[in-house]
Amino acid sequence: MAAPSRPQGAQERPPSSNQEHKQSPSVDEASLSEEKGRSWGVLQSDLIRKAPKKWIILAFCGLYLMTFIFAFESHTTTTYAAYATSNFKGHSLLSASRVVNAITMLLTYPIVAKLSDLFGRAQLFAFSIFLSVISLILFAACQNIETYFVAGFFGAIGSVGFGITQQIFISDVTTLRNRGIWLSLPDTIAGIPTLYLGTYVADAFLDGPGWRWGYGMWSVVEPVSALPLLLTLFLRERKAKKEQRARSGAVVRPNNVLSEIRPEDSLPTKAYKLLWVELDLPGAALLIAGLALVLVPVSLTGRGNSTAWGNASFIAMVVVGFVLCVAFLVWDARFARKPFIPFKLVRHRTVVAACAMCVLDFMHYSLFTVFLPSYLQVAGHFSAGHATRIDSNSLRVAFQIASLVAALLMRYTNRAKMWVLAGVPLCVLGQGLEIYLVNVGGTHPAGEAAFIAAKSLVGVGRGFYQTAAQVCVQAVVRRDEVAVATGVFFASMNLGGAAGTSVAGAVWRANLLPKLAEYLPAAARGRAAQIFGSIVAAQRYPAGSPERAAIDRAYRETQRLLAIGATCILVPMLAAMWFVENVDLSRNPKGMSSDDESEGEGEGETKVERKNRVETEKKVQL
């Protein structure tokens, strides 16, 4: 069929430049207004996600390199702690520093998540790496326990800050379907080899130049290794701004900390808008104070100090802490204009269920594991190396591998809840087996292989449910809430761990010492307190002697009580797992359109330009 003829003299001409000029501002304004609603952290990640593949590859290579370096440094420097503190003779202050570091790590998660939205992912990466380098320099140069304490404080913020920003950044630039893979891959690649290599490097430094050079080496390696990641993020941001300015004559002013502050505002007004409105300083202060007052007594009543609950000041701190936490919820729900943690996250069943599972899981883990190395060395007659492999390495390796397998399964099933339902029972089963293994027939502990198998079951279960639950939490919130939701998710793990440690200390002290006094021969009962306080004293008695048989029995029975308590704590997870929403991972995340999810063909290409290009290509094909 012939095409209709065109009227004589008529010519098809492109629109005039004046018409283009009139239309383009409206298009650009629509694009800019849509982007202004997003936080600077999300916008910054979009610059990478929409960039050509070379930028994405460079960003992920830099991210994986830094993850490997942080894991390697962590598994190396933990060996130096005993040698460093032995020079200072301040072990009582060292225990206090561990408490403060634990609280610092818990509080860092939501705070860093909030700041990454306000200031940007690249800025928080740089800030976290800077604090980590400062801590390593302080460790290498410290001459007293106080400096060691400060170094640990900065190190806790730096390591947690990098870890949570890494998870948020990956969540920003990946789809729900592939997110589990990319969230699991960095730690799997870095965690397993460094778990073993770190000890060899530490031994080499301790036998050679010393622990100070061990810390000092990483203070040089970390900033050099950070260059690929930071340069990629900052250069891409700069390039995108130039392209945006050339295209529309303006640069997006995102919804960051300066969005409501005008140049003509007075200094008090600027301070009010920055601290009270944008950063929600009252909410942050209530949260920090409340959690700190709860966690300080909980942590200090852990191993070897459970009798401190008789101190009235400890009870008062817990009560005031809970009151402040309730005040924080009321403030954020009723009064805060830009809440530090959006209150609707607390009301979402998936977020609550996932955080509850993390609290219960890590509470059970701390409850059973705090004294497990001592039990394995005393009652199990394992060496320190065997005890470490049974206690930590087997579970960590199983967790890393299982999390990657779960991510692949989510990729091909487009569902996450089923893997939560599969993982939680495995955790309960693995921990339930420990009840039998720690005191087989009431006469002896199980062998190394049996403990490793049980620990591996817990690791596989945790890898399945935790990876899937994290993706579910991120799927049910909007993009601007992903960072804070992820921070709350990880903070719940530390909260459970602190509570479990406190309960373990109370159970251990209340049972082991009386059992030692009951089972030891009459001639050795006077040394029950000494044996209770030192595994070295317990191990001095040869295997097969009446004293050692009594010690082994007391250890087995007490550890079995911890195993029963840990299993009971896991049981509510079997109910909580059903409240996780069955998310369809093939759909777009909330707050991301299909155009946003697709990658741009060219550098800085907006979705409007992409739409016009696709329509033009279709016309050409016709």
Q: Is 365 helix (H, G, I), strand (E, B) or coil?
A: helix
Query: Which residue from 379, 387, 286, 384 is spatially nearest to 341, judged by alpha carbons?
Result: 286
pLDDT digits (tens, 9 = 90+) for 539-552: 888 888 888 899 88
Kindly give, in sequence order, each residue whose CB lies less than 8 Å from that of residue 28, ignoring residues fewer than 6 positions away: 247, 248, 249, 250
Contact (CB, 8 A) for 564 and 435: yes
Task: State the pLDDT at residue 23.
Answer: 43
CA distance 377 to 391: 11
CA 63 to mean position of chain CA atoms: 15
Tokens of residue 555, six digits: 């250890």
How many domains does the structure of the chain reveal? 3
Residue 101 inside a domain? The answer is: yes
Looking at the fold, whether 290 and 425 belong to one and the same domain comes out as no
pLDDT band, residue 458 (cuts 50/70/90): very high
Contact (CB, 8 A) for 528 and 516: yes
pLDDT band, residue 50 (cuts 50/70/90): confident
CA distance 394 to 35: 46
Model-wide pTM > 0.85? no
Task: State the pLDDT at residue 469.
Answer: 93
Task: Check pLDDT > 80 for residue 178.
Answer: yes
Looking at the fold, whether 385 and 496 belong to one and the same domain comes out as yes
Contact (CB, 8 A) for 228 and 155: no
pLDDT band, residue 465 (cuts 50/70/90): very high
Contact (CB, 8 A) for 172 and 482: yes
- Looking at per-residue pLDDT, the higher value among 53 and 612 belongs to 53
Looking at the fold, whether 494 and 461 belong to one and the same domain comes out as yes
- Looking at per-residue pLDDT, the higher value among 333 and 436 belongs to 436
Last residue of a domain, one of 212, 241, 270: 241
CA atoms in the 13 A half-sphere facing the CB of 458:
28
CA distance 295 to 103: 7
Looking at the fold, whether 129 and 219 belong to one and the same domain comes out as yes
Kindly give, in sequence order, each residue whose CB lies less than 8 Å from that of residue 306, ignoring residues fewer than 6 positions away: 502, 505, 506, 508, 509, 510
Contact (CB, 8 A) for 112 and 156: no
Residue 537 inside a domain? The answer is: yes
Q: Which helix H or strand E contains 556, and what residues bound it?
A: helix 546-570
Q: Which range of residues forms the domain containing residue 117?
A: 39-241
Residue 24 inside a domain? The answer is: no
Residue 388 inside a domain? The answer is: yes
Q: What is the DSSP secondary-structure string of 166-231?
A: HHHHHHHHS-HHHHHHHHHHHHHHHHHHHHHHHHHHHHHHHHTT-HHHHHHHHHHHHHHHHHHHHH
Looking at the fold, whether 94 and 175 belong to one and the same domain comes out as yes
pLDDT digits (tens, 9 = 90+) for 279-302: 788 888 888 888 778 877 766 665
Looking at the fold, whether 209 and 286 belong to one and the same domain comes out as no
CA distance 606 to 595: 9
Alpha helix (H) ranges present in 249-280? 267-271
Last residue of a domain, one of 340, 372, 390: 340
Residue 251 inside a domain? The answer is: no
Contact (CB, 8 A) for 392 and 604: no
Tokens of residue 44, six digits: 């910054």
Task: State the pLDDT at residue 606.
Answer: 43
Tokens of residue 35, six digits: 């982007």
Looking up residue 70, the CATH number of its domain turns out to be: 1.20.1250.20
Residue 124 inside a domain? The answer is: yes
Looking at the fold, whether 320 and 382 belong to one and the same domain comes out as no
**Residue found under tokens 């609950």:** 309
261-285 as b/e, with b when 16 or more CB fall inside 10 Å?
eeeeeeeeeeeebeeebbbbebbbe
Kindly give, in sequence order, each residue whose CB lies less than 8 Å from that of residue 604, ignoring residues fewer than 6 positions away: 50, 239, 240, 243, 244, 247
Task: State the pLDDT at residue 573.
Answer: 95
Q: Looking only at Cα atoms, what is the longest distance across the chain? A: 121
Residue 603 inside a domain? The answer is: no
Last residue of a domain, one of 292, 312, 340: 340
Looking at the fold, whether 57 and 175 belong to one and the same domain comes out as yes
Residue 479 inside a domain? The answer is: yes
Looking at the fold, whether 87 and 178 belong to one and the same domain comes out as yes
Tell me which range, 146-155, 452-461, 580-589, 610-619, is most confidently predicted by mean pLDDT.
452-461
93-130 as b/e, with b when 16 or more CB fall inside 10 Å?
bbeebebbbbbbbbbbbbbbbbbbbbbbbbbbbbbbbb
CA distance 92 to 144: 13
Looking at the fold, whether 229 and 104 belong to one and the same domain comes out as yes
Looking at the fold, whether 309 and 395 belong to one and the same domain comes out as no
Looking at the fold, whether 107 and 164 belong to one and the same domain comes out as yes
